[in-house]
Amino acid sequence: MAILSLLPGYRAIVLAALGSIVYIIGLAVYRLYLSPLAKFPGPKWTAATGWVEVYWDVLKGGKFIFKIEEWHEKYGPIIRISPWEVHIRDAEFYDQLYSVKSRFSKMPHLKERFGIPLSTFDVIEHEHHHRRRAAVGPFFTRQKVIDFSPYITTRVAKLCAILEADYKSTGKIVTLNEAFGALVSDALTWYTYALSYNFLEYPDFKAPFTTAIRNLAYAIPMSTQFPWFVAVMKMLPEKWIGILDPQMKAVFEFHGELRNQIRRIGNGDNDGHKSVTHRTVFHELLASDLKKGGLSEDLLHHEAASITAAGIDTTKSALTMASFWILQKPDIYEKLHQELVEAIPDAENMPSLTDLEKLPYLYAVVQESLRMSYGVTERLTRTNPSGPIQYGDYIIPADTAFSMTSYLQLRSPEIFYQPDEFIPERWLNNPVSSTGHPLSRYLSVFGKGPRMCLGMNFAQAEMYLALAGVFRRMKFELYQTDRSDVDMTGSFFVPMPKDESHGVRVLVK
């Protein structure tokens, strides 16, 4: 008190500082020893503060997922990874937690991190999500994808024709990330809007959509930890942001083009869908019962951005991963190529999707490519408003955040021997795991339960048609590319390789 009497002008500041210190200490004591989660194992720092995740994800670049993996090795299958969240790593529990009957909600602070809070993907409450998904889900059924698959075949043929005409035996380098990004972008935008942007014809296959999506991913750790970040970005003029970060121009072009197409469809200016056999997603939504409840342009824009972003980057990554390992391992290439030659005598006359799905080694390559590309590497955080969740001897209280991570599931050594190796043979002859369950049960790349990936059938169709078409018709040689160019070094919702990676580059022979 003597110090305060000597410095009366600073009394309020000193008292505020002391009060803050007492509050921080008290909060830490509560979180460590009095919280309902205090009994869960894990590092003390993560139990005391959420800034541990900020450090590893925002400052260190998507590395928190590796810390979670490390902590599971030390503390066991269930750990506390923040003051308010527990994480589980148990391949057998994954299907139980994310079952089709689960009625879990998402964390509210995650709603704004992509800047498209009205999309079905970002709906928080289970019941609301169920209604929204019911309107969109029918457009991605297996039969609708099969009916649409001949168009994908034509785009694969177009890609091969460009590779043969412009790159074969020329010494020109092809970046397969870009080529496959253009391919899947063309297929998805035609399916969604009945509009073709012909991204395959862009120089070096550099499609603006894929550039925009990849740029957005790098901001996800920041927007996840600080939800106000997206709101601030939306307040700033696009011109200013473009000056600060030129790469963001592609993001703005991406969103602007989505809005333009939705307006054209809504105004009846786009008649592209009348000349095709498939019924597009947004024409149908505009005619659905959802319109009675207020189907705003913003909602359609957010839905468009969500479907397009989710459908492009993950499939592009899986195709790129597959191509790298096929070319990296000659024995895999020989087995696949031989099977394709026998099944497809005329490379200009491709079989149907359903026929390609029957090829055992192609199936194995597709499965292993999906496993090794991981899909979404972000942990799937949920809450259960209706009651607690039990895992072994631990009770997770109601309304408490809990999560599992597909990345860890797909790398579980108990399920997948040599999980870091690309081994298509593990999928041959209806394999079962050491627990006796079919191995396919653990392929969680599309998620599980009521929120699993809507576009799963579409993505798998692209995988079969692209890999069969390209590797039946083309011959590549890797160019200055090794495993470090595809291995994940950070999670930005999706896996990212090292910053220095130029992608999977090849020469067309």
Which residues does the annotation place in the binding site for heme?
Answer: 453
Question: Cα(211)–Cα(218) distance, rounded to whole angstroms?
Answer: 11
Question: Cα(293)–Cα(296) distance, rounded to whole angstroms?
Answer: 9
Binding site residue list: 453
189 in Cβ contact with 308 (< 8 Å): yes
Buried b (16+ CB within 10 A) or exposed e, 184-222: bbbbbbbbbbbeebebbeeeebebbbbbbbbbbbbbbbb
Q: For residue 380, with 0-12 CB atoms within 10 Å meaning exposed, 13-18 middle and 19 or more buried, which class applies?
A: buried
Going edge to edge, which strands form the sheet with 380-382?
78-82, 85-88, 401-404, 380-382
420 in Cβ contact with 411 (< 8 Å): yes
Sign of CA dihedral 459, 464, 467, 473: negative
DSSP code string of 249-286: HHHHHHHHHHHHHHHHHHHT---GGGGSSSPPHHHHHH
DSSP code string of 213-246: HHHHHTTHHHHHH-THHHHHHHHS-HHHHHHH-T
Question: Cα(139)–Cα(487) distance, rounded to whole angstroms?
Answer: 33
52 in Cβ contact with 46 (< 8 Å): yes
Question: Cα(48)–Cα(426) distance, rounded to whole angstroms?
Answer: 42
Over the Cα atoms of the chain, what is R_g?
A: 25
**Cβ of 95: how many Cβ atoms within 10 Å?**
15
Question: Cα(183)–Cα(200) distance, rounded to whole angstroms?
Answer: 6
Three-class secondary structure of residue 370 per DSSP:
helix
